[in-house]
Structures are given as C-alpha cells and as structure tokens.
Amino acid sequence: MGSQQRGVTVWFTGLSGSGKSTISQALEQELRARGCRLEVLDGDIVRTNLTKGLGFSKADRDENIRRIGFVSHLLTRNGVIVLVSAISPYQAVRDEVRDRIDDFVEVYVSAPVEVCEDRDVKGLYKKARAGEIKGFTGIDDPYEPPINPEVECRTHEETLEESVNRVLVKLEEMGYVQMAPASASV
C-alpha cells in the first residue's frame, strides 16, 4: 500500500458468543491480504496482559474498556487499523472511547442471548446459570446495545462472509480501506 493508510478503530461489541472474535479474525485475514497495517485487541487476550488484575464490577469493566480505548487511540493516530473485540456492555464508556479516538467504527455483533447461550463456546453461560459466575453479561448483568452503530452484524441471520463484507463495505465507504481490486466474482 503506497499511500498513507488512515488509522481507524473498529470496535466489535456484543454478548459473549455473539461472534465478535470470529468476525474480527476473518476481517483481519482480509485486511492483511490487502496489505493493511493492523493490530487486533481481543478482550480475552487483553485481560491476561494489559488489564490483568481487573475484575468484572462495573468500575473494572469500564476501566478495562478505557485502557483498551487508550491503546487503540495511540495506534489509530499512528495510521494503524485496530480491530477490538470486547463485550463492552455499557454505552457510556463506549461513547467515551469513541469521543477520544475520533476515527471509530462501532460494529454491533447482535445475536439473541438464547443463540449465544446455545453456542456457549467457552462454557461461560452454563457456569453463569449454575451460579458459578456472578455478574455475567446478558444473564445477571446488563448489556446495553449500541444506539447508532455504524454496522450491525446479525450473526444468527447471516453468514460469516456476509458479516465480514458488511464491515468491509463500511470501511471502504468511509475511506479507511481501499476497494479490493475487481476479481472474477461478478
């Protein structure tokens, strides 16, 4: 990519098991194939490194998101595309991060809690239902859906490819990513 790449934070928010990391990983592959410079900040990985020691109280969750937002801001202003996958259940702190970063695309990865619970990739819903995890988002702690996200991916109604394409098209429209060269698929 000869031209100067614009930085942007693509923030995937949604319930546990909604498909945030899956879409982010597929988008990462597509953007790398296009020669984009990017970083991926996945909530689970960040918690073991950057935000170790924070719990799951509202204050700790907000602080977790602020720290991810701070790192995203630094990378974004240096021309890096940042893909963040974090439940980030509270609207106010997502808005705070958006205001700090400016170049920010919120992707609401929506799926009904029943669908996420059926997927239960990490077995967390089962533990929450059994009372082993307290304050679990979507069960006994709130999730505040974005009011006006740039993109909504309904993972219970569309394929992974459709979700990824939805985000890519928005990034192209907003000028963060160049259109892919026309291929044989018409």
Q: Which DSSP symbol is given to 131?
A: T
- Beta-strand pair 81-85/151-154: unpaired
- The active-site residue, picked from 88, 110, 183, 185, is 88
Residue 48 DSSP SS3: helix
Q: In angstroms, rounded to a whole number, what is the distance separating the alpha carbons of residues 64 and 85?
A: 12
**For residue 154, what are its two tokens?**
């309904």
Active-site annotation holds for 88:
yes
Neighbours of 97 (CB within 10 A): 23
Residue whose structure tokens are 């930085």: 7
**For residue 77, what are its two tokens?**
């202003």
Q: In angstroms, rounded to a whole number, what is the distance separating the alpha carbons of residues 160 and 19?
A: 9
121 touches 85 (CB < 8 A): no
Q: In angstroms, rounded to a whole number, what is the distance separating the alpha carbons of residues 9 and 89?
A: 17
Which active-site residues does the annotation give?
88
